[in-house]
Chain A
């Protein structure tokens, strides 16, 4: 790998720009895609690799190309700078998520409680408006406070977020769904919310609950078969 290619690749990662490093096999010549000067079929194959978020070898004509997809990090928006959020961040970051914690209550959303983590003290609906969750974004609400959770869930349901989870018991969740129904959300949309949040591993402590949440997010992202949540 030449220093130029390496520098361009590292720059794209810093800019959070999706790129593909294409390597001709076995000779090892490399180029970064998309590139208007590259053959159309190579650019198209690169776009597919980014879309599927999967690296692999493709044969174009007589040539084998290894296409290494470098997508920007997945995003996780955590509403509620609570104890479980503190436990969730250290699981989510190494799993590839760029995490933002949202909580207008400054005593919760402090740098001391979340060192090195991106924090927003805006109201959750405004924060979600700004972050515009896309199909590579997960949203988790943890405040237990309808004033904070509901506006976030309302916005998340209007987005393409691939995962929406809400902390709360089955009874809390049923009451929450009723309020969101009153806001005009249909049942099929509401079924996108994973509640009670997390895989059922009988989690008790904050780290255990955080583990169940990140495990469920990974399961949804990787299309693992999941049992339906028990209805209240």
Chain B
């Protein structure tokens, strides 16, 4: 029986990059209230549509993946702000009532 490893999203992202994929990594940098994932939680996204990890309980991953695609295309990092007062977050629905900031960067 093989033992599941501790999840290392950055290592997964690095492996995808090494295999020739274009990859962006999103990292939770700040949280307020009842955000489900702590600062440091990560999600990796490739241009080809692969995803690993998470930055919330599932509520903002879609929006973060969209932003990651932009960052892959432009090469510019983004600092995303999701919260109940934020139009986009309302739209994607942070059901937990928390707020999070997510930094998205490309692996160059």
Question: Is B40's CB under 8 angstroms from A55's CB?
Answer: yes
Q: Is B27 an interface residue (CB 8 A)?
A: yes
Cα distance A26–B103 in the bound complex, in angstroms? 8
A: number of interface residues (CB 8 Å): 29
Closest A-B pairs by Cβ, 7 of them: A55-B40, A28-B77, A26-B79, A66-B29, A55-B39, A94-B4, A57-B30
Interface residue? A89 (CB, 8 A)? yes
Asked if B6 contacts A57 (CB within 8 A), the reply is no
Q: Is B101 an interface residue (CB 8 A)?
A: yes
A66: nearest chain-B partner, CB-CB: B29
Are A28 and B105 in touch, CB under 8 angstroms?
A: yes
Q: CB-CB < 8 A to B108: which residues of A?
A: 1-3
Q: What is the chain A residue whose CB lies nearest that of B77?
A: A28
Beta-carbon contact of B27 and A68 below 8 Å: yes
B68 to chain A, nearest CB (A): 13
| Chain A positions within 8 Å of B101 at CB level | 57
User: Least Cβ distance of B56 to chain A in Å?
Assistant: 16
Assembled-state Cα–Cα distance A25/B40 (Å): 14
Query: Chain A, 67-82, contact with B by CB distance < 8 Å: what is the 0/1 string?
Result: 0110001000000000
Binds A, one of B7-15, B45-53, B84-92: B7-15
**How many residues on B have C-beta within 8 angstroms of the other chain's C-beta atoms?**
27
* Interfacial chain A residues near B105, Cβ < 8 Å: 1, 23, 28
B11 touches A10 (CB 8 A): yes
Is the beta-carbon distance between A93 and B4 smaller than 8 angstroms? yes
A-B contact pairs, 29 of them (CB 8 A): A1-B107, A1-B108, A3-B108, A6-B10, A6-B14, A6-B107, A9-B10, A10-B14, A23-B103, A25-B103, A26-B77, A28-B103, A28-B105, A56-B29, A56-B30, A56-B39, A66-B103, A68-B27, A68-B40, A73-B6, A90-B3, A93-B3, A93-B5, A94-B4, A94-B5, A94-B6, A94-B7, A115-B2, A116-B2
Separation of A89 and B1 alpha carbons in the complex (Å): 11
Given A6-B107, A55-B39, A66-B27: A25 in contact with B4 (beta carbons within 8 A): no
A117 within 8 A of B: yes
How far is B79's CA from A3's CA once the two chains are assembled, in angstroms?
21
Residues of chain A lying within 8 A (CB to CB) of residue B38? 54-55
